Amino acid sequence: MPQHTSPTEQPRLSRSLRNRHMAMIAIGGAIGAGLFVGSGSVIKTAGPAAIVSYCLAGALVLCTMRMLGEMVVARPSSGSFSDYARSAIGPWAGFTIGWLYWYYYVIIVAVEAVAGAAILHAWLDLPLWVLAMALMAVMTATNLLSVKSFGEFEFWFSSVKVAAIIAFLVVGSLHVFGAWPGSSFDFSNLTSHGGFAPNGFTSIFSAIVVVIFAFGGAEIVTIAAAESREPERSVARATTGIIWRIILFYVGSIFLVVTIVPWDGAEVLASPYVAAWDIIGLPGAGTVMDVVILTAVLSVLNSSVYVSSRMLFALAAHGDAPKWSVKTSKRNVPVRAILAGTVVGWVSVLLAYLSPDTVFTYLVNSSGAIAIFMYVMIGASQLRMRRRLEREAPERLTLKMWLFPYLTWIVMAGFGAVLVAMAVIDDQRTQLFTSLGSLAVVLAAYGIRRTYGPRLTGAGASRGPKIVAEPVAASGEAHRASSLGQPQDIDGGTDARPDARVDRVASTE
């Protein structure tokens, strides 16, 4: 029989992420090397119709972010969708999606470290594994310092990515409209190489499977919201205007790439943006893009270390992970949760060089479809939580999902169709089945945890770690009491604990 334990002193996280950090975390989480390099495989699959693939995938992710934003604004939590799944569906759902998400990102830590090392190797004559370890060590140290240091690094990494995309949008537009030196008004590449959809319109939907993963990471901002000074405002902005900008960056830049570069050219698969810059004729574009891609890789690596640690931290607060991982430093940083994730990353990096074609490939494949599982779980959680909020706390619904519940069901069906597509597409089938294997392992682990693991009693059983505001210099506006003061639990009842009242500090930006 499982033992019942009472929660001890609630661990603390700090509210030190500012609005500018949150804006760039939202953008940086969704724009990685997948756009600059991975888009080549999408273009090869769908041709110029890749534009449509990015539009459809972007719409699915936008709606999912809106659903998640509705829940986060109503009830900010360091565990984000894991905690919402726990409250809306049941403990098994929170445990399952939380551990799958943690696994997904500790593998991404290794993947991005290996990718970054490959770029650096062209400039530094050091073994690849040494470079990969060095990158991981730097990003781990950044996260260990403070959440604000994570936010600052992400702000500047994302700024570089955004600047690169905006520069490409401006120069590329001048080129296709004939306003760039040596160019002419020319959109012929959209149709002159076999038509707009040269591989058939079914290829549009096949490409969506790949595009969905390129948008992965947009949800990171909703986890970071628990450590921001104004979670409601930050998430509301991230799930509306900022996500629209991300989609514009993706769709706009892909439109220019397929307009400038013939989709069937060999250079597209290698690096479509470098190929476009070469045709435009900008000197040194290849080197600049290598720097941008390295920045994108470091951004994802930085975010992956952060988000994996916060998910483990939230799991431990519910008794679903070892209790030692919930400990925080004097700066309110979950040091042990960070180290636990990076240790797995370091082992995975070693496997990438010792067994690249077997063990490491299996690890990557076994996490491939987890993002889709997460999106489906977010939809199911929002369906149930919205109904409860409407009955019990309608005043919390300040940010709402559009066309509820019909659009929620449509989006969930869309992700279901993506999973079906993965089952029938040869090069995606392995990822789906190995990811289902990961799901089965985690579900079995929950059965063991439920039978033999400890159960929290009292307030800690349903509520995550306490978040505290860091003091800031007065800026003419006094500290305002949060609208989340003495919140009513989504499952009913009022939490009257002193720490349930969270001070929201006005931004000094």
Give pLDDT tens digits for 34-53. 788 889 999 999 999 999 99
Task: Give CA–CA dist 288/171, Å, rounded.
Answer: 15
| Closest among 204, 191, 259, 188 to 45, alpha carbons compared | 204
Q: Is pLDDT at 448 greater than 90 in this prediction?
A: yes
The residues that bridge with 15 in the sheet, in sequence order, are 469
Distance CA 28, CA 137 (A): 20
Q: Which pair of tokens denotes residue 214?
A: 């390129």
β-pair partners for 329: none
pLDDT at 254 (0 to 100):
95
Which residues, 6+ apart, have CB-to-CB distance to 453 below 8 Å? 2, 319, 320
pLDDT at 11: 66
8 A C-beta contact, residue 366 and residue 433: no
Please, are residues 239 and 68 in contact by the beta-carbon 8 Å criterion? yes
What is the per-residue pLDDT across 57-94, written as a single tens digit (0 to 9) for each?
989 988 998 998 899 888 877 668 899 999 999 999 99
Q: Write down the pLDDT at residue 55.
A: 93
Cis peptide before 405 (omega within 30 of 0): yes
Please name the residue that has the structure tokens 């409860």. Answer: 388
Task: Find out whether 397 and 74 touch, Cβ atoms under 8 Å.
Answer: yes
Beta bridge partners of 494: 488
User: Mean of the pLDDT values across residues 396-413?
Assistant: 94
Report pLDDT for 232. Answer: 74
CA distance 290 to 132: 16
Compute the average pLDDT of residues 248-262.
94
Mean pLDDT of 465-486: 37
Q: Which helix (H) or strand (E) holds 12?
A: strand 12-15
Give yes or no for residue 382 having a pLDDT over 60. yes
At residue 93, the pLDDT reads 96
Tens digits of per-residue pLDDT, 279-336? 998 888 888 888 999 999 999 999 999 999 999 999 998 899 998 988 899 889 999 9
pLDDT of residue 238: 72
Mean of the per-residue pLDDT values of the chain = 84
Q: Could you tell me if residue 492 is left (phi over 0), alpha (psi between -120 and 50 degrees) or otherwise beta? A: left
Instruction: Compare 472 and 133 and report the one with higher pLDDT.
Output: 133
pLDDT cut 70: percent of the chain above it: 86
pLDDT, residue 214, reads 83
Q: Confidence band (pLDDT; 50, 70, 90) for 28?
A: confident
| Predicted local confidence at residue 271, as pLDDT | 84
Q: Please give the pLDDT value at position 8.
A: 45
Whole-angstrom CA distances from 333 to 227, 255, 404 are: 11, 42, 37
Strand, helix or coil at 418?
helix
Task: Please state which of the ranges 24-33, 250-259, 375-384 shows the lowest mean pLDDT.
Answer: 24-33
pLDDT greater than 90 at residue 440? yes
pLDDT 10s digits, 196-207 = 999 998 899 889
